[in-house]
Amino acid sequence: MTDAIATQVHEDRFGAVIDHAAAGYLEIRWYDTTEDMSAAQFQDWLAGFAGEVERQRRPGVLVNATRFLLDPAV
């Protein structure tokens, strides 16, 4: 799922949010550093992503979890 024009709308040490406007979706691209992420940081990150979904109003989301390393026991 790629399109010619994608815009990164947020990035921090844990991941990026990429707007694929032409294709109609936002992508979460997690980074390896999620291994050090706390439960509170995860919740904050998802809240920020939800805000971006509301702002961009895309009908779809893609969660690229290939590099998501948060321990589910956290």
Give the residue extent of every domain in the chain.
27-74
Q: Which residues contact 29 (CB under 8 A, 6 or more apart)?
A: 15, 16, 17, 18, 64, 67
pLDDT digits (tens, 9 = 90+) for 27-58: 999 999 999 999 999 999 999 999 999 999 99
Assess contact for 28 and 15: CB atoms under 8 A: yes
pTM listed for this prediction: 0.86
pLDDT class of 3 with cuts at 50, 70, 90: low
CA-nearest of 39, 35, 32, 31 to 74 is 39
Please report, in angstroms and rounded to a whole number, the separation of the first and last CA atoms in the chain.
31
